[in-house]
Amino acid sequence: MDTSQLAKFYKKSHLEKINALEAAGVINAEDAENLRRDQLDLSKETGDHMIENYLANYSLPFGVAMNFIIDEQEMVVPMAIEEPSVIAAASFAAKIIASSGGFTTAVSDRLMIGQVTLKGIDDLPAAAETVLSHKEAILSRANEAHPSIVKRGGGAKNMDVRLLSEDDSDSPTFLSVHLHVDTKEAMGANIINTLMEGIAPYIEELTRGTALLRILSNYSTECLATSTCTIPVSKLSTPQFSGDVVRDRIIEATQIATVDPYRAVTHNKGIMNGVDAVVVATGNDWRAVEAGVHAYASRSGQYRSLTKWTKNEAGDLVGTLTLPLPIGTVGGSIGIHPGAKLAHAILGHPTAKQLESVLASVGLAQNFAAVRALVTEGIQKGHMGLHARSLAISAGAKGEQVQRVADRLKEAPHKNLAAAKDILNNLDK
């Protein structure tokens, strides 16, 4: 990638941005031409095949976050999101972090979990023992249910059992059989559901119970990605505060988000601003990622911050984020949606593990930007500056009026729709 083409990207016009991405080698000539012609949408025919009662496409703005260095590789990160300031914040944070070496990531094996949960078993401990003693037979029946994933080197790799009570008591009611499945490049929901439906009759036979549920778990605790960054205090100072004060404030703010769920939810929402935008852009199932991430934030029994910010011996700020990331680079709508295809191309056609590294790094960048702003100048200055354009459009501004209204709105005491309408009405007076 020739990053010199991408300098001051945000200052370029729409056409210049597309040209720069092409010149830098981030997108090819065909993708550049499609972008120039505004051709990123699904065809009606494809949309009609994708969902039921299809009427039209519902668009989201698609853009790119800049300045990311992840595991020593420069990356341009595609995002689909309606909220202003997320891309700016990610790019800002990534620039500071890049200047101190970028993000380092570690990705676990990609094992997804499937569950067959049975009811009506008289002797649950004995049934659990029977299932465990038939582990190899169950694994091979699971793999026979989806031979193509086995040919790709994946498939059911392990199994365990859990006894579940119908309430919070200690006395169990249900038996849950877990398969740990390597779904390779796919997120794997459909693959796993096929496996679980495939083994359920055999497990019913073994336990004399009834399989009530046969589906993947979206709590993918064996598909984790961690991103880390180290930022010297010299990169943290603001006009108001010295670097070590900003570092300590970021650490303290994260301590609050670790103990207080009211703060933790907002703290983690900020992380997901970036993560979801990339998950959506790459055609992945954001509901699955969201559900798993928030369960993971509660794994201690209390909902807590997903990031950790500490200082090392040199006094640098060190950030870490671990997320469960059940995403794929194939399957679902990834190969169908033109926007998702472009997003994968912008990322250089990453493997699922590489995409996990990007997602964890984007989440960490987003969190750094948000917490840094919160503990220094406050979040509204940057956010409302960018939100002003949305307010101008809502007020009815068109073309060059949008920026003019937004510029005046930034100076107004109240930055709201009424103020934007007022400015628009008086624009040329």
Residues with catalytic function: 83, 269, 285, 383
Binding mask 207-226 for ligand NDP (x = CB under 6 A): ---------x-x--------
User: Three-class SS string for 374-423?
Assistant: HHCCCCHHHHHHHHHHHHHHHCCCCCCHHHHHHHHHHHCCCCCHHHHHHH
SS3 content of the chain, % helix, strand, coil (to 5): 50, 20, 30
Q: Are 280 and 81 in contact (CB under 8 A)?
A: yes
CA torsion, ordered 421, 423, 427, 429, to nearest 10 deg = 110
Q: What would the two tokens of residue 366 be?
A: 């987003």
- Site size for ligand NDP, by CB under 6 A? 20
Binding flag, residue 393, ligand NDP (CB under 6 A): no
Q: Are 21 and 27 in contact (CB under 8 A)?
A: yes
Contact with ligand NDP (CB under 6 A): which of 152, 162, 269, 299? Answer: 152
Contact with ligand NDP (CB under 6 A): which of 97, 116, 179, 186? Answer: 186
Closest CB to ligand NDP among residues 285, 356: 285
In the bound complex, what is the minimum distance in angstroms from residue 216's beta carbon to ligand NDP?
Answer: 6
Q: Are 358 and 350 in contact (CB under 8 A)?
A: yes
In the bound complex, what is the minimum distance in angstroms from residue 215's beta carbon to ligand NDP?
Answer: 7
Binding flag, residue 149, ligand NDP (CB under 6 A): yes
Binding flag, residue 243, ligand NDP (CB under 6 A): no
Strand partners, 75: 68
Distance CA 109, CA 104 (A): 17
Closest CB to ligand NDP among residues 270, 328: 328
Q: Which stretch binds ligand NDP (CB under 6 A): 25-33, 144-152, 163-171, 245-253?
A: 144-152
Cβ atoms < 10 Å from Cβ of 399: 7
Contact with ligand NDP (CB under 6 A): which of 78, 274, 328, 339? Answer: 328
In the bound complex, what is the minimum distance in angstroms from residue 178's beta carbon to ligand NDP?
Answer: 15
Which residues in this chain contact ligand NDP in the complex, by CB under 6 A? Answer: 148-149, 152, 183-191, 216, 218, 285, 288, 328, 330-332
